[in-house]
A and B are shown apart, each in its own frame.
Chain A
C-alpha cells in the first residue's frame, strides 16, 4: 500500500493484511541520541545485538558492523551493556551541524 493512500483504499478497521511489514515503518526519526561506536575498541561480543530492543544492530560474519539508523530509536541500551564502553550516545544535533 503506497504512502498517502486515501480512506477508500486502505483496509478497514486498521487491519494490517500482510505479515512482517513493520520494517517498512521507519522509527529512526524518534531518536534524540545516536549510538556511535569506536570500531577499534569493539571486541565483537555481540552483547549489543542481544540487548537492542529494536533489532538495530547490524551484524555480518559474526562481526558487529554498525547500526540500522532507520529503526534505532536511540534508547542507549547498547551503550550501557557494552563491556568495553565503545559506544557513545551522541546528540543528534551534532549531526545536524554536519549537514
Chain B
C-alpha cells in the first residue's frame, strides 16, 4: 500500500534511495545534506537495503568512490551541499565525461565566504558547466519524485550522464511536509534492474580501460559525444516524466507554468520560492491582476525554445536569481542570462529584468514578490525599464 508520511525533504529523498536500493552509496556529511545520508545509513544498518555504504574522508573521495563503483558496474548514488559540491569539482567532470549514470542530491546552500550554511543556488549554478543534468525541486514531494526519475534519465542509453537533483537548504531539506510515497515494488519496477551500458571493470573476460590519456587526437570527439547525450536528455526527461505520471498521477515537464497562459506579466523562479510565488499569484489574481509564474524544473539541459515559447505572449518578465554570476553582464544571475539568450534566439520582445534575492538564506517574503509584480506593471505603464538588475532585500 502507498504511504502518506510527514517527511522533510532530506528524509523524502532517503526513502527514495531506500526504495531504489542502489548497489553503492559513498557520501560525506555536510550541512544541510547530512540527514539524507544519515537516514539512509539507518536503512543500511537495519538491513532494509543491500547497498554497500562507503563512509569516506571527503567529498572528493565520495565522488571518486562513486566513479570507481559505477565503472565497476554498480548503480551508484550520493548527496552533498555547497562546499562539498565544490570539493567534488574535478570529479564532477570526470563522472560526466566517463558517461557514468550517477545520481546525486544536492541540497542547495551558499558557498563560502564568509561562511554560511543557508540556502542559495550558488553551489549548483557554479557546477552548471560540468556536464551533469540538473533538476530543481520546489518541495519534498518533487524532490522524491525527481530523484526516482533521475535514475531512469541518467541510465538511458541515449543519455548516459550523471544527474543532480536539487532542493532548497533548510527551507525544503528540514521542513516537514506531506509526502506521498510509491510502494517499494512500484519504485523497484519503475527503475528496473540496472544493466551497465559498457563492459565493467570487474568483467575479467572483457578487460577494458577507463580514463586513459586523451589528448588532442580524441578529446574533442569525446566532448562532442557528451553534447549529444545532453541533446537527447530533454526528450528522455519528458518520456520518463510521462511514464512516471501514469504511475504516480503527478505530472512533470521541463518547467511548470502557473496561471501563465493569459498572464500579462510573469516571474521566472526556481525551487521553493516558486511555491511562495504561487500564493502571491493567487492573491493578485483575486484582485483581477493578470500575473503568472514559470518555474523551471530542468536547468541543464536548458529548455530554451520551450521556455521562450511559453513566455512570448507576456508584456514584461522578471527572472529571480538566487545566485550571482560575478562579472557577467550587469553582474546578473545565471537564470536571467539563460532566459535572455533564449529570447534572443527564439523570439520575444518584452522587457526582461533580473532580481537577485535570498543570498545566504536571506528570507524572501510574499510582500517582496508582490513588489516585483508591481515593478513589472510599472514597466508596462511607463514603458521604461529603470534597472536591469535589482537586489531584492539587501540593505542599502
Cβ B224 vs Cβ A13 within 8 A: no
Within 8 A of A (CB), among B212-228: 212, 214, 218-222, 224-225, 228
Tell me whether B207 and A19 are in contact (CB under 8 A). Answer: yes
Kindly state the separation between the CA atoms of A7 and B221 in the bound complex, as whole angstroms: 5
Residue A14 CB within 8 A of the other chain: yes
- Give, as a whole number of angstroms, the nearest-CB distance from A86 to chain B: 33
Q: Is the CB of A7 within 8 A of B198?
A: no
Q: A23 at interface (Cβ–Cβ under 8 A)? A: no
Asked whether A16 lies within 8 Å of B218 as measured between CB atoms, the reply is no
Residues A13 and B97 in contact, CB atoms below 8 Å apart: yes
Identify the interface centre among B207, B209, B214: most chain A CB within 10 Å of its CB: B209
**Please, which residues of chain B bring their CB within 8 A of the CB of A14?**
97-98, 210-212, 214, 218-219, 222
Closest beta carbon of chain B to A18's beta carbon, Å? 8
Chain B residues within an 8 Å CB radius of A18? 208
Q: List A contacts of B220 (CB < 8 A).
A: 7
Q: Chain B 183-220, CB within 8 Å of chain A: the 1/0 string?
A: 00000000000000111000000111111101000111
Kindly list chain B residues whose C-beta atoms are within 8 Å of the C-beta of A13: 97-100, 160, 198, 210, 222, 225
State A5–B220 Cα separation when bound (angstroms).
12
CA gap between A74 and B15 in the complex, in Å: 58
User: Could you mark each residue 1-28 of chain A with 1 if its beta carbon is under 8 Å from any beta carbon of chain B, else 0?
Assistant: 0000111001111111111000000000
* B212 and A7 within 8 A (CB): no
Task: Say yes or no: B198 contacts A10, CB within 8 Å.
Answer: no
* Number of A-B residue pairs at CB separation under 8 A: 52
- Taking a contact as CB atoms under 8 Å apart, the answer to whether B225 and A12 are in contact is yes
- Chain A residue numbers with a CB within 8 Å of B214 are 14
- Flag if B160 contacts A12 (CB, 8 Å): yes
The answer for the CA separation of A17 and B288 in the assembled complex, in Å, is 64
Q: How far is the CA of A10 from the CA of B223 in the complex (A)?
A: 12
Q: Do residues A15 and B160 form an inter-chain contact, with CB atoms below 8 A?
A: no
Contact A16 B212 (CB under 8 A): yes
Complex CA–CA separation, A7 to B220 (angstroms) = 8
For the complex formed, measure the closest distance between the CB of A4 and the CB atoms of chain B, giving whole angstroms: 9
- Provide the residues of chain B in CB contact with A10, threshold 8 Å: 218, 221-222, 225
Minimum CB–CB distance for B46 against chain A, Å: 36
- Cα of A16 to Cα of B214 in the assembled complex, Å: 11
Q: Are B224 and A17 in contact (CB under 8 A)?
A: no
User: Assuming A12-B99, A12-B160, A12-B198, is B208 touching A17 (CB within 8 A)?
Assistant: yes
Q: Decide: B97 and A16 in contact? CB cutoff 8 A.
A: no
How far does the alpha carbon of A26 sit from the alpha carbon of B198 in the complex, in Å? 27
- Measured CB to CB, the nearest residue on chain B to A20 is B207
In chain B between 228 and 244, which residues have their CB closer than 8 angstroms to a CB of chain A?
Answer: 228
Complex formed: what's the CA distance from A19 to B214 in Å? 17
Query: In chain A, what residue has the closest Cβ to B198?
Result: A15
Contact A15 B218 (CB under 8 A): no
Whole-angstrom distance between the Cβ of A27 and the nearest chain B Cβ: 10
- Shortest A24–chain B CB gap in Å is 12
Q: Which residues of B contact A (CB under 8 A)?
A: 97-100, 160, 197-199, 206-212, 214, 218-222, 224-225, 228
- Given A13-B225, A15-B98, A15-B210, 6 more contacts at CB 8 Å? A7-B225, A10-B225, A12-B225, A13-B100, A14-B222, A15-B209
Q: List 26 A-B contacts (CB under 8 A).
A: A5-B221, A7-B221, A7-B224, A10-B221, A10-B222, A12-B99, A12-B222, A13-B97, A13-B98, A13-B100, A13-B160, A14-B97, A14-B98, A14-B212, A14-B214, A14-B218, A14-B219, A14-B222, A15-B98, A15-B198, A15-B208, A15-B209, A15-B210, A16-B209, A17-B199, A18-B208
Identify the 7 closest CB pairs spanning chains A and B, nearest first.
A7-B221, A13-B99, A16-B209, A19-B207, A7-B224, A13-B98, A14-B214
